[in-house]
Chains A and B, each alone.
Chain A
């Protein structure tokens, strides 16, 4: 039986969920034995396999056009899609931007801020993603499993990965469930 494939990516988050994943320490090797770890932000494969992966894990919410592409692509290519961490599940801290407005935030950072010089203007090169409002993952695509936490505890992540790697859906309750 081939090992299930797991791929991950990050969007409008802080990478803390992936760092918490690294905090499972040596248990990472155990997971690597159970599953084939494919594209992630810390491995050099650049996108989830076109042929599809068993588990797609996304950290971070959606706050620009590029995040949206990532979210759709991961959904298309994953049998099970996991919203990983509070940003993906709820919107998280970056969603504070919804309360002040995207343009207001851009204006403050690139034009008004005290340390800016006269070159201050909002970047709009076509190479750059276009900012949007901040959304939780389930507002953009269907999500199969939510793993909240800011970040989720390493023990929770280890439990979730181990279950998924063995073809089971983890039970998110008791010590495996926290939003903080």
Chain B
């Protein structure tokens, strides 16, 4: 512990605490600009300078470690003058036009800092030289006239998404934030995660989609969970008058504010037509009808065909809805084809494995976030689960190594330290080869002496070069915290044997042991794991079925799925948007979208999270859960609403945290 004095107050803090944080922990406010609670301190803006007894000049408190006996003053007249000059210099360096800037009037940290110092004017006027305005990016604009060079954007691009697109060029007053080697943002390596926009303290980085739609004080903010993939990143949904204005990352969730383009922006790109009234097919045409009529038709249809239903639900639905769906169609009406839109492809393999072995072999995402070596197989993370790729990328400059195993092109190929391109469908042989290499090189962490398959045989089967596999063996086994990440590529095509091989490699390399589970799978969409736990992971086999019931919610539906319904006599769809599926349907029931329905989500690492509803759906629309409950009532089925027990009925591949 460290003891120091700030403004005459004696305080005690942990070793390694900065003076700035020491002050914060004791309710002493020191103004800052370049500092950000989620980014490493930079010490560039100089606004947080404090007087330290015995030191010649004021020191930036954000980068000053507290030490014993330090005596700090934060509110002397001289410091107040300094802050005024510092802010004035910041303003005069560029061209700040408060009147028409999108964040002016409450949301600009620079302006608010000026107000806090009671600044009424600038001591120095700007030179009015033109700084570039980069409008090349489709999601946001970089106006260098408003930039204070705090480098938060650069740090966010490095520490949140690990993309390292942003940097600075030149020096002194010519310093400027640039993308890559100073190319337009729209032509750069930027992946549109929006982390830079989220952290920018001024109007230098402006979201096109939320510009001028209101200030923070006009917004209602709802804590929720992203439904873009199975990672379940925490999000804050900003709404005004029942419209989502923007989505930002939740700093208090495990993703610590990081989001990808899918979670932050793509939701707002919605172009489909919303369904607001039930429809039934009459003489070949879909016509609007009342809920009463639609439900009567539905009840009669399902009652007459109650054992001949093929039922499918989207994994974007809440856990409650999925559990009710399962309870209704499988338990209640006794059908065996009750599945999710994923049909078990990203999850069935490992779910069966866990059940058969009674073991949760997978770890939490924290394991990935702290890994110093990651092997990714059967997954293109940057395409499907982008934030997982961020967790890897941002640690690579600190020494984290990446091995990518993918027979085809993978979005992380260029970053990988080692690229393995085996023959397609040979995942088991790849693991066998690594196992053999680890043992051959004497790197095994267990006392295993022989591999299941010899190195030559394994290499021949998967078509990899020996030196590459040996290098992988070293990289994994010599790492302190290695992790194997696998995805649908393994789950959809592999058998139990590949799981066995993976687990052996994990144990041999120290990825998994008694204290650690160094295996993760990214699975599929939002409630992919829930589908697995509810055993909604079988193929959607519609042969000889009389009715298909598809609760797709706001999900997208493939052509293949629509085609599969060709010979079904009657198709009932509960959906939010018009699609080829609703065009095919005989009965269409309009339901809520993800943001309109509160409920739980079970992410890929087994965490159950509650997502609040942020919007009210249009009139005429029901929530997925309400509709399913109503259908159950009409069919005299008593639903089991204990979804918590339902989720833990079978051993999960990753421990479920309620």
Contacts and interface: CB of A to CB of B under 8 A. Distances in A.
Given A91-B125, A93-B100, A98-B128, A180 B105 contact: yes
A148 B120 contact: yes
Q: Looking at chain B's contact residues, is the secondary structure mostly helix, strand, loop, or mixed?
A: loop
B98 A180 contact: yes
Interface stretch (A21-29, A32-40, A70-78, A82-90): A82-90
Interface size class of B (residues with CB under 8 A): 10 to 19
A180 B98 CA distance: 6
B251 interface: no
Contact of B98 (A83, A86, A99): A86
A92 B118 contact: no
Interface string A119-150: 00000000000000101101100010111101
Among B95, B98, B114, B118, which residue has the most Cβ atoms of chain A within 10 A?
B98
A60 to B, nearest CB: 13
Q: Looking at chain A's contact residues, is the secondary structure mostly helix, strand, loop, or mixed?
A: mixed
Given A99-B128, A180-B105, A172 B111 contact: no
Interface of A: 83, 86, 89-93, 95-96, 98-99, 133, 135-136, 138-139, 143, 145-148, 150, 172-173, 177-180
Contacts of B122: 90, 136
A180 B95 contact: no
B99 A180 contact: yes
Contacts of A83: 121
A138 B99 contact: no
B470 to A, nearest CB: 61
A150 B95 contact: no
Interface of B: 95, 97-101, 104-105, 111, 114-115, 118, 120-122, 125, 128-130
Given A148-B120, A177-B120, 19 more contacts: A89-B121, A90-B98, A90-B121, A90-B122, A91-B125, A92-B97, A93-B99, A95-B128, A99-B129, A145-B120, A148-B121, A172-B118, A173-B118, A178-B115, A179-B111, A179-B114, A180-B98, A180-B105, A180-B111
B131 to A, nearest CB: 9
A178 B438 CA distance: 66
A94 to B, nearest CB: 10
Sorted from nearest, which 7 A-B pairs have the closest CB atoms?
Answer: A98-B128, A180-B105, A150-B99, A146-B120, A146-B121, A180-B104, A173-B118
Contacts of B101: 180
Nearest to A134: B128
Nearest to B145: A99
Contacts of A86: 98-99
B120 A89 contact: yes
A138 B111 CA distance: 20
Contacts of A95: 97, 128
25 contacts: A83-B121, A86-B99, A89-B120, A90-B98, A90-B122, A90-B125, A91-B125, A92-B99, A95-B97, A99-B130, A133-B128, A135-B125, A136-B125, A143-B121, A146-B121, A147-B120, A148-B121, A172-B118, A172-B120, A173-B118, A179-B104, A179-B114, A180-B98, A180-B101, A180-B105
A133 B125 CA distance: 13
A136 B126 CA distance: 10
A156 to B, nearest CB: 11
A89 B129 CA distance: 19
B239 to A, nearest CB: 23
B203 to A, nearest CB: 11
A66 to B, nearest CB: 21
Contacts of A139: 125
Contacts of B120: 89, 145-148, 172, 177
Contacts of B114: 179
A83 B128 CA distance: 20
A95 B95 CA distance: 10
B68 to A, nearest CB: 37
Contacts of B105: 178, 180
A173 B95 CA distance: 23
